[in-house]
Every structure is written in structure tokens, then in C-alpha cells.
Structure 1
Amino acid sequence: MALGTAESAVAARTRIRAGRHAGPTSGLAPGFAQANLVVLAADEALDFLRFCVRNPRSCPLLEVTDIGSPHPVALAADADLRTDLPRYRVFRDGELVDEPTDVTRYWREDLVGFLLGCSFTFEWALAAAGLPLAHQAQGVNVPMYLTSRRCVPAGPFAGPLVVSMRPFAPEDIPRAAAVAARFPAMHGAPVHIGDPAALGIADLSAPDFGDPVRIGPGEVPVFWACGVTPQAVALESRPGLAIFHAPGHMFITDRAHVEFDCQEQAL
């Protein structure tokens, strides 16, 4: 698959910033990694950093911005985290208060942005390996579920692991797991394969985020740690202000997928 050019990532962010794209970002800027967004006050940032270190599968940390700065200098120096995602979710004291397309009015000089790895990168690698993805074939957002597994807490941050699910034929699962494992900065290998009840998931047709997918005859659900986990944690930890991406509406970086491929980097 072609990697595209740096301009394609810039062009996608420009369209988003101008309000010309407000939907999910899957398929935008082909070849370029995308990221989950978490924004918190500086006095909560160190505890959240500890949370990421203790929960690397769900919160693989790519970048932390300077206090008050909306610019991710390592991943896309010209970008603005206040405007360059198609849709956001704003929480106050653990309550969802807004889902805007621009968070400039919420930005404060004490805010810190965290960018976390996104499964779109290993999805790119799965597709390149000839492993089709049900949600893409069905034209929907990937399904995501709250689980009964608890994250390792850090300070006030505690809560359930969120997982995303992709079904595969049994014979394809070892290869899918091996491909995803090459991208530890993008959630890596699956955390569970098979019975959803083992994760406390009662009904695969009723995801907590995203959309349900049809599971074909004989296919097995495969679950990955998901970057929506911090949003579930925010419901329990109740920070005064927290800003996130809307599920599936990611930040597009200037970094190519292959830069996060451990196998590629080892060559």
C-alpha cells in the first residue's frame, strides 16, 4: 500500500480544521498513523502519565505536549489539537457536556495534551497482509466494549479496560495476532480471543462505543485494548475538565505507519 505524502496528512487536517470533514477518520491520509487524544489539567497530568506507563496496552504513549500548548511538535508540528480532530468529547467532573467539532473555547493555559497510539495502524498492516476487517467491509465504526477487567490505577485515575473487537476465521487468528504484535505503540497483540463473557461482555451486538458488526459463520471475536479506555476512566476519576477525541474521530499525524513497525525497524 502506498504511504502517501506528507501533504496528504496536512491536507486531511486542513479539511478537518475548516469544517469540511466531521466524520470518522478511518481511510483519511492513507499510510499515516493516527492517534487518540486526552487533554487534562497540568496538576493531573503526572498521575495520568503514570496511568499510561502502568497500562501500556490501552494507553501507548506517543507524545505529551508542553503545558498550555495545543501543538504536538513530535508528531505534527504545524497541527492544532483544538481544531484538527473532526469531533471531540468534553467532560466536566465525569459528565459528558459537549461533543463539538472545535474545542478552542474550552482550551486553557494549564492544559496538557496526550496522544496515544491508535489501532488504525495495525489495521493498515492487517489489510496489507490480506486479512479483511469486518467493520471496514460493512462500512461501520469498529465496535468497542467496556469490560470487567480493571486497569492498574494511578492516583485518581482508575477504571475499566475498553476493548475493540474484530472477528476472524480461526485459521487467520495466529497471523492477525502476529501482525498486530509488531506494533506495540499501537496497542499491539490482542488481549483476548474468543468468549466475550470472559471479559464481562454480555452482548456483542450492543457495543458501548462504535457500531455492531456482523460476525460470519465460524468466525471468532478477537479483542484488542482500546484507546477509548481513558474516557471510561474519566467517568470514574471525574477530573474537573477532560477533553477526548470522539471514538473513531482521531488525530492524523505526519508519521508513517511503518515507523511504528518493530519488524521493519529491526531490519
Structure 2
Amino acid sequence: MTLLDPALVTPRDARAAFREGVVTPTSGWSAGWTQANLLAVPRDRAYDFLLFAQRNPRACPVLDVTEPGEHAASIFDGDLRTDLPLYRVYEHGEQVAEVPDVRAYWRDDLVCFLIGCSFTFEAALLAAGVPVRHLEARTNVPMYRTNRECRPAGDLSGPLVVSMRPVPSGLVATAVRITSRYPAVHGAPVHVGDPAALGITDLGRPDYGDPVEVRAGELPVFWACGVTPQAAVTASRPPFAIGHAPGHMAITDARDDAYVVP
């Protein structure tokens, strides 16, 4: 499939492209359509994860949940096994595969959770004049594990993961105001400024995604990130889970403006 401008691609065509083998971070794709993180866990672990999400809503805002074995959702009219660009498969907390199709790993007891993604508010940031550096650089957003522990649930625990965007100091208040209107997709930042306060020692070495330049006069701004569930999987070592590769999201049939509050 030939794609000239990913921002203009419909969710249906984006999913078809990923099904046909296009592998790419999805920031900037399908402008106006909501993107989501994915975590699929066996039914006997689903309550623990739902409770984990309820206790950590900034990092894990749940947009949709499937019935066991289902691989479509009310906001995703596609196949959650094939229609994301890249997946990660975990066994006992260890990543055992990174593949563009997880049908070979699929189980009929899996419950899929679609979790809000901060890509949803990036167009609003740009419209307000707030730069989004990874879009400028055409790279993945940088993401970091922090020293902040999430509130545990059942056997599930782990650190908060954050995404980072450099923001000119004079526009930080604007970025906070805009993103606070999107509580279902992480909302306002959890931290502004010194990364050491989050236990991050080197912005140039993100745990997920790609590094971006922080220029003179800019502050690093950190938002809770939907990769947090996968960090919890790594820390808690459940027998099995499937997630998206960080930055390689599910492009849904929901609109970004559906998640804006007045």
C-alpha cells in the first residue's frame, strides 16, 4: 500500500496498511482519530489489571475492554491481532517476541484493554503553538521508567512510565492547560523540569522510543504513559501477556474530540 501523508489516512486504511506489513510509530497518523495502547491478558488476570487501571487512572485510562477471546472492540472495527504495526509478547515478564502479527500467540481466553494515548492531544498542542519535537524529527516519542511506583492491584505492580516532550518555558502553562482537558488520554503532565526528580538519569537514553533534542529555553515536560501496564508486566511477571510495541498504537474509530472536556 502506498501512503503519501499518514495524517490523512483513515483508521480503516491505516489498519489495512499495518495488516499488510507497514511497521512504523503511529504519532501523526490519522489526524483527528484517537490512538490507544493495547494490553491483552488471560481472563483470570483481567480483574487484577482492571483494578490496577482503576487505581492508576493517569497512567492507565481505559477506553474499551473486550470480552474474552474477542479481537475487535466497540471503538476498534478491526483485528487487534493484526491491525497494529508491531506487538510485544511476554511470558513470565520476559519479552519473547516482537512481531507485526500475534495470531500465532493468540489465546481464546485473552481480554484486550485499550488504554488512552497522549498522541490524542498532540494536534491540540500544535494548534496552540506548542512544538512536538518527535513529530518534527519524524521519530518515536521518548518514554522513561520512573522511580514512582504505581498503586498495586492483586499480583500486579510496577513503575510509572512517562512520555516526554520538550516545551519552551513560556508555553508550559499552555501545554498544561490544553492537555488537562484530555483526562481520558493521560491529561495534564505529572512533572515539569528536572528529570532526576523522576529517577531519570539521562534523557538521551529513553527506555522506550527515541531520544529528542531539548533546546535552550525549553523544559522537559512529562506525561503519564500507557506503556505503564507493560512495565508492570515486566516487574510482576505474570505467565502471559501481549502488548503493543511502544509508540506503535491501535488507531481506533473514535474521534479525538470525543475525549475533550469543557
* Superposed pair shares fold, TM > 0.5: yes
CA distance in 2, matches of 1:211, 1:7: 24
CA distance in 1, matches of 2:138, 2:82: 26
Q: Once the 2 structures are TM-superposed, how far is the Cα of residue 127 of structure 1 from its aligned partner? A: 1.1
Residue 112 of structure 1 aligns to a residue whose secondary structure is strand
CA distance in 1, matches of 2:176, 2:82: 35
Q: Deviations over 1:121-151 (max 9, x none)?
A: 1112111222111111122111111100000
State the one-letter code of the partner of 1:14.
A
Aligned ranges for residues 207-226 of structure 1 at < 5 Å?
Answer: 207-226=206-225
Residues 143/41 of structure 1: CA separation in 2 closer, same or farther (3 Å cut): same
State the one-letter code of the partner of 2:215.
G
Corresponding position of 1:45? 46
Verify the 8 A CA contact 1:35 1:252 in the aligned structure 2: yes
**Long gaps (5+) in structure 1:** none
CA distance in 2, matches of 1:126, 1:180: 8
Verify the 8 A CA contact 1:41 1:241 in the aligned structure 2: yes
Residues 7/146 of structure 1: CA separation in 2 closer, same or farther (3 Å cut): closer
State the one-letter code of the partner of 2:156.
F
CA distance in 2, matches of 1:124, 1:238: 36
Corresponding position of 1:177? 176
Is 1:67 paired with 2:63? no
Q: Once the 2 structures are TM-superposed, how far is the Cα of residue 22 of structure 1 from its aligned partner? A: 1.0
State the one-letter code of the partner of 1:62.
L
State the one-letter code of the partner of 1:240.
P
Question: 9-18 vs 248-257, which deviates more?
Answer: 9-18
Residue 253 of structure 2 aligns to a residue whose secondary structure is strand
CA distance in 2, matches of 1:215, 1:5: 25
Residue 152 of structure 1 aligns to a residue whose secondary structure is coil
What is the number of equivalent residue pairs in this alignment?
257
TM-score (norm 2): 0.95
Corresponding position of 2:14? 12
Verify the 8 A CA contact 1:6 1:254 in the aligned structure 2: no
State the one-letter code of the partner of 1:8.
T
Verify the 8 A CA contact 1:141 1:248 in the aligned structure 2: yes
**Long gaps (5+) in structure 2:** 1-5
Residue 10 of structure 2 aligns to a residue whose secondary structure is helix
Corresponding position of 1:139? 138
What is the Cα-based RMSD across aligned positions, in Å? 1.5
CA distance in 1, matches of 2:17, 2:154: 38
Residues 104/147 of structure 1: CA separation in 2 closer, same or farther (3 Å cut): same
CA distance in 2, matches of 1:148, 1:175: 27
Residue 34 of structure 1 aligns to a residue whose secondary structure is strand
Verify the 8 A CA contact 2:164 2:222 in the aligned structure 1: yes
State the one-letter code of the partner of 2:104.
R
Is 1:55 paired with 2:56? yes
Aligned ranges for residues 134-173 of structure 1 at < 5 Å?
Answer: 134-173=133-172
State the one-letter code of the partner of 1:31.
G
Residue 188 of structure 2 aligns to a residue whose secondary structure is coil
Aligned ranges for residues 1-267 of structure 1 at < 5 Å?
Answer: 8-19=10-21, 21-72=22-73, 74-76=74-76, 78-263=77-262
TM-score (norm 1): 0.94
Q: Deviations over 1:82-107 (max 9, x none)?
A: 00100000000010100010001111
